[in-house]
Each structure stands twice: as C-alpha cells, then as structure tokens.
Amino acid sequence: MEDHVLVLGSSKDGNIYVVDPTCGAQLFIFKGSSCSRHGLVAVPRTHHLIALQPGKLAMHMHMWGKDVPHFKCHVTEHMGPMVTTSDGNYCIAGGASGKMYIWDVATGALLHVWDAHYKAVSALRLTSDDAFVVSGGEDAVVHVWRLLDLLDASSTDSALQSGAAPVHTWTDHVLPITSIHCGLGGVNGRVFTSSLDRTTKVYDIPSGTCLVSITCPSFVNVCAADAMEHRLFLGAGDGRI
C-alpha cells in the first residue's frame, strides 16, 4: 500500500474507501461501515480505523487489511465529531446531548464523561501537541479544555472534585459551530473556527483573544489553514471555496 492514502467515508454509502491521492485509484474497501460527519479517524501508531455509525448507537473499529469491522462497540447516545491523540492512546468524541467522552484506545475503557455544551457537540479538535482539546457546539460556544485536567478528573482521587473547567470559553459566534482547525503552534498556536453565522474567527490560545473575524457571503462548513498559516481556506455553503 502507498505511504500516503486518502480515507473516504459517507453517511449513506455503507462502505469506507481507501484511495491513492496521486491518481485516484481505489486501494481497499472497509465494508459494512458508514460514518457520521467528523466521525472517521485513523488512530496514529496503530492499525485501527474508527467510524461512528450515523443514526446508530454504535462505533466500528477496523484493522488495516481486514475488510469487515474488527470490533463493534455500543455507545449511550448518538455521537458527533471524534478525534484521537497523536500517540494513539486516547479517543475523544462529542455526543448529541452535549456530553464529551474519553476512551483508552488500548483497553476500550471509558475514562471520563462530562457536560461540555448545552446542545450537541458539532466540532472537535486537538492542538498539535495534544495539550488542549477544542470543542464547538450547536450552542455556538467554543471551549478549550486542558487534556491533562480531563484525564485527572477521571481519577477517583482527583483534586478536581467538581470536574474539569475550560481554560477558555469563546462566545463570539451566534449560530452553531461547524468546524475547528488548530495551527501547528501547540499551546502557543491559533484556533480557527467556522459557523453557520457566515463567519470564521481566529483565536490566540495563550491570551484567549479573538484576533480576526471574517464574514463570508454564505455559511461556512469547514475551515483549514496551511502549515505556515499564510492562507486560510473556507468551504462555504454555496459550494465555493
């Protein structure tokens, strides 16, 4: 298989495709799994691919080279976005209730559940150094959580008796969050957020301030910046980038 591949999933197709991005050739098919929006991740340093099943209380885990799910796990509610840490140790997902969940990938143990948003979690991202978890919800709020606080709160002898609190809370958007992008600066980096309110905002993590607000002609589905953060790409609801 190629060193770099593109993994494509759909909420309706029922299969997940592995494609060679250089020529578009189909390399492999994972059968029997759809995926929800932001609900497909390749776990780093392992041979796992995790897909949240749309409309079902289920999570499928695939092994590379095996076309059918290796594990089928049940969850307590419909899940939305999902991310994994760069070392492949932890998987984090947001639910329709606004709760967020952390699992240990190696054991499958659910480590921590907490109330993150008043409405469904719609976007989720980790900073490049895995220090912070950035979550966005249909309540139009963006929270920045320290990952170590979340893991500490899962311990029975934790000093955080009332649970972890966000490091920053940003309420500049007025409609649901659609996408979050974190730059390569880690704890000193920037966070880019997009929303149905037609705006994309750029935040500075150390200070917690909003640096820039960009308004588009249509609502923004997704935002992404290049590695040097010289260019910001916005995918709009009218089909334009």
Q: For residue range 156-191, list pLDDT tens digits in order.
A: 554 444 568 999 999 999 999 999 999 998 899 999
Cα dihedral 188, 142, 83, 183, rounded to 10, equals -30
Query: Whole-number mean pLDDT of the chain?
Result: 89
Instruction: Give me 7's structure tokens.
Output: 């993994």
One-letter amino acid identity for 126? L
Q: What confidence tier does 218 reach under pLDDT thresholds 50, 70, 90? A: very high
Q: Is the pLDDT assigned to residue 18 strictly greater than 90? A: no
| SS3 assignment, position 150 | helix
Each domain of the chain, given as residue ranges in start order, spans: 1-75
Give me the pLDDT at residue 159, please: 46
| SS3 assignment, position 73 | strand
Q: Is the pLDDT assigned to residue 11 strictly greater than 80? A: no
User: Which tens digit of pLDDT belongs to each residue from 56-77?
Assistant: 888 888 888 888 888 888 888 9
Instruction: Give me 238's structure tokens.
Output: 């009218």
Residue 7 backbone phi and psi in degrees, to 5:
-105, 125
Identify the CATH class of 1-75. mainly beta
Its pTM stands at 0.89
Query: How far apart are alpha carbons 103 and 122 in whole angstroms?
Result: 19
Query: How far apart are alpha carbons 76 and 136 in whole angstroms?
Result: 20
Instruction: Give the distance, in angstroms, between the CA of residue 6 and the centroid of all CA atoms in the same chain.
Output: 17
Decide which of 47 and 28 is more confident.
28
Residue 188 backbone phi and psi in degrees, to 5:
-105, 15
Give me the pLDDT at residue 233, please: 95
Query: How far apart are alpha carbons 221 and 193 in whole angstroms?
Result: 10
